[in-house]
Amino acid sequence: MRILVTNDDGIDSPGIYALAHALRKIGEVIVVAPDRQQSAVGHALTVSSPLRATPFHRDGAMFGYAIDGTPTDCVKMAISTLLPEKPDIIVSGINHGTNTSINVLYSGTVSAATEGMMMGIRSMAVSLTSFDHAADMSIAAEYACAVAKQLPTLELPSDTILNVNVPTVPRDVIKGIKITRLSKSMWNDHYERRIDPMGHDYFWINGQYITLDDDITDSDDMALKDNYVSITPIHYDLTNRAVMKRITLLEEIIL
Amino acid sequence: MRILVTNDDGIDSPGIYALAHALRKIGEVIVVAPDRQQSAVGHALTVSSPLRATPFHRDGAMFGYAIDGTPTDCVKMAISTLLPEKPDIIVSGINHGTNTSINVLYSGTVSAATEGMMMGIRSMAVSLTSFDHAADMSIAAEYACAVAKQLPTLELPSDTILNVNVPTVPRDVIKGIKITRLSKSMWNDHYERRIDPMGHDYFWINGQYITLDDDITDSDDMALKDNYVSITPIHYDLTNRAVMKRITLLEEIIL
């Protein structure tokens, strides 16, 4: 099995290293990842500047290609141009930080898997709930490996990816895997106003994440809270067909 | 009606100017938009650097606030921090270039409307099929205005936005409005390899857009081809519930 590995934390992050290391047990691993931190870039694609692909070494050996672009760029460029053959699966991660609920729309990690799916490859994203760069990635890597192994035979629809989130707790505290839905949530954001040394305003984003359906037990956020590994099948069938009929009155607009 | 107007082509683009001008007929318009071109940034959010909001003047009068960030940043910052009151609706556009099918995932224009929806505001995106900066935006602006007027009373579900695309043809050639679904399509991308003056490789993206369901008449791409204005209700209910049951075998994984 040929496995393309990418992420959004950058090719030098501990998460992608642990992931690539674990996946080598089940297949041939090719790493193509951003050359720097690309968190919260969503599905951004570089169209108005060119890209470079630079060989990146780690522990004295070629680890993969570093791209000066986004996670979406990495997947597009790997599959269309860099790799001699299409990979069988794509695994994106391991992200430093949870990617549940509405956060999948901001997540570069999830967007890389989405781009893979759009290019016809079975894809999954993996995230650890901890933002600590020293966090132990090995358990998340093992779960990623176990799920990746089954990805080709799962018969996912062609518009669907798997979004895996792993709680940051000791191995014996993890209760197992739970198939979940995205929770309903929101960010209560504000921008903190500061004054620079020249006397001009600037603003830092500062937000609180609020889950809105804590009474429902099969959501991704609740599964993590209960120390389960959460796996959500995410699809991109974005047309709201039920609403199509309800807004046909708009067809009566005449200028 | 208070209307927040934003875009991804930048606050100085002809599209946002035509849109703001038209919408002033139906409400109070506030413009908060990127200070430069931000196409294909998707739902990118600026989290690791601060932002600035600069008053932007046009024709000798204050036109709006220019933000050195993405369309998503503009909507988040406008609603949470810059505006004294929440707007009643958000209109994003008019984009220079079509935003149909899978392109809504890359589109900064659509993502701005999505962010508005996530913050609880009725939102819509508007795009003209032409990439020509000299293209006539007035017909698209009039359609945007007519749809925006009805947006508050349409009773859209809270997870749904309207995605409006207008063909670039004379007024009397437009056949009217059609409610559509996103077409099935793909990009057949490759990266063109070039050599810089120092002898190093660099890559330019180059792609062909291919629609896969031209036999189906109610898609956004087909409506535009037939000279209709296309309106697609897009929702972000991303959990594939049908697949949840089919992959419960993953819950049996034990490390």
Residue A189 and residue A207 in contact, taking contact as beta carbons nearer than 8 Å: yes
Average pLDDT, integer, range A38-65: 94
Question: Reduced to 3 states, what is the DSSP secondary structure of residue B230?
Answer: strand
pTM: 0.95
Dihedrals phi, psi of B218, to nearest 5 degrees: -95, 20
Q: Does A169 reach chain B within 8 Å, measured CB to CB? A: no
Side chain identity, residue B218: D
Q: Given this model, what pLDDT does residue A39 score?
A: 84
Average pLDDT, integer, range B53-69: 96
pLDDT, tens digit (0-9, with 9 covering 90-100), for B171-190:
999 999 999 999 999 999 99
DSSP A96: E
Instruction: Check whether B167 has a pLDDT greater than 90.
Output: yes
Q: Rounded CA gap, A7 and A67, in Å?
A: 11
pLDDT, tens digit (0-9, with 9 covering 90-100), for A1-31:
999 999 999 999 999 999 999 999 999 999 9
pLDDT, tens digit (0-9, with 9 covering 90-100), for A88-118:
999 999 999 999 999 999 999 999 999 999 9
Instruction: Residue A65: list chain B partners with CB under 8 A.
Output: none
Q: Do A41 and B37 touch (CB under 8 A)?
A: no
Render the burial of B180-218: b for 16+ CB within 10 Å, e for the rest.
Answer: bbbbbbbbebbbeeeeeeeeeebbebeeeeebeeeeeeb
Q: Given this model, what pLDDT does residue B22 score?
A: 98
Q: Rounded CA gap, A59 and B7, in Å?
A: 45
B135: region left, alpha or beta (phi > 0 left; psi from -120 to 50 alpha)? beta
Residue A75 and residue A185 in contact, taking contact as beta carbons nearer than 8 Å: no
Q: Given this model, what pLDDT does residue A255 score?
A: 87
Q: Rounded CA gap, B37 and B97, in Å?
A: 13
Give the model's confidence band at B234: pLDDT under 50 very low, under 70 low, under 90 confident, else very high: very high
Query: Which of A50, A204, A243 lies nearest to residue B157, judging by beta carbons?
Result: A243
Q: Given this model, what pLDDT does residue B215 score?
A: 85
Q: Does B40 reach chain A within 8 Å, measured CB to CB? A: yes
Q: Rounded CA gap, A142 and A138, in Å?
A: 6
Q: Given this model, what pLDDT does residue B34 score?
A: 98
Q: Given this model, what pLDDT does residue B216 score?
A: 83
CATH superfamily, domain A2-182+216-252, is Survival protein SurE-like phosphatase/nucleotidase (3.40.1210.10)
Q: What is the CATH number of domain B2-183+216-252?
A: 3.40.1210.10
Nearest to A64 by CA among A20, A124, A94, A110: A20
Instruction: Check whether B214 has a pLDDT greater than 90.
Output: no
Q: Rounded CA gap, B246 and A155, in Å?
A: 9
Q: Do A179 and B251 touch (CB under 8 A)?
A: yes
Average pLDDT, integer, range B152-156: 93
Side chain identity, residue B229: V
3-state helix, strand, coil in chain A (%, to 5): 30, 35, 40
Scanning A67-96 for CB atoms below 8 A from B yields: 72-73, 76-77, 80-81
A185: number of Cβ within 10 Å: 19
Nearest to A64 by CA among A37, A96, A29: A29
What is the widest separation between alpha-carbon atoms in chain B? Answer: 68
Instruction: Residue B160: list chain A partners with CB under 8 A.
Output: 240, 243
Q: Rounded CA gap, A66 and B196, in Å?
A: 18
Cis geometry, peptide bond prior to residue B174 (ω within 30 degrees of 0): no
Which residue of A73, A105, A150, A231 is the best one to mutate when testing the B interface, meaning the one whose CB has the most B CBs within 10 A? A105
Instruction: Check whether A40 has a pLDDT greater than 90.
Output: no
Average pLDDT, integer, range B154-165: 95
Residue A38 and residue A10 in contact, taking contact as beta carbons nearer than 8 Å: yes
Render the burial of A35-64: b for 16+ CB within 10 Å, e for the rest.
Answer: bebbbbbbbbbbeeebbebeebeeeeeebb
Q: Rounded CA gap, A137 and A42, in Å?
A: 23
Residue A166 and residue A127 in contact, taking contact as beta carbons nearer than 8 Å: yes
pLDDT, tens digit (0-9, with 9 covering 90-100), for A116-170:
999 999 999 999 999 988 999 999 999 999 999 999 999 899 999 999 999 999 9
Strand runs (DSSP E) across B182-251, as ranges? 185-195, 201-211, 228-235
Angle at A158 between CA A152 and CA A163, to 5 degrees: 70
Query: Which of A171, A235, A254 lies nearest to residue B238, judging by beta carbons?
Result: A235
A199: region left, alpha or beta (phi > 0 left; psi from -120 to 50 alpha)? left
Instruction: Spell out the domain ranges in chain B.
Output: 2-183+216-252
DSSP A80: I
Contact partners, residue A170, CB within 8 Å, separation at least 6: none
Instruction: Residue A105: list chain B partners with CB under 8 A.
Output: 43, 111, 114, 118, 236
Query: Which of A105, A159, A251 lies nearest to residue B178, judging by beta carbons?
Result: A251
Q: Do A240 and B157 touch (CB under 8 A)?
A: yes
Query: What distance lies between CA A10 and its chain's CA centroid?
Result: 13
Q: Rounded CA gap, A233 and A180, in Å?
A: 8
Average pLDDT, integer, range B144-158: 95
Average pLDDT, integer, range A189-200: 94
Instruction: Check whether B40 has a pLDDT greater than 90.
Output: no
Give the model's confidence band at A210: pLDDT under 50 very low, under 70 low, under 90 confident, else very high: very high
Dihedrals phi, psi of B75, to nearest 5 degrees: -70, -45
Q: Do B111 and A201 touch (CB under 8 A)?
A: no
Q: Rounded CA gap, A67 and A30, in Å?
A: 13
Q: Given this model, what pLDDT does residue B39 score?
A: 84
Q: Does A223 reach chain B within 8 Å, measured CB to CB? A: no
DSSP letter string over B121-189?
A: -EEEEEEES---TTS--HHHHHHHHHHHHHGGGS---TTEEEEEEE-SS-GGG--EEEE-BPPPEEEEE
Q: Do A233 and B244 touch (CB under 8 A)?
A: yes
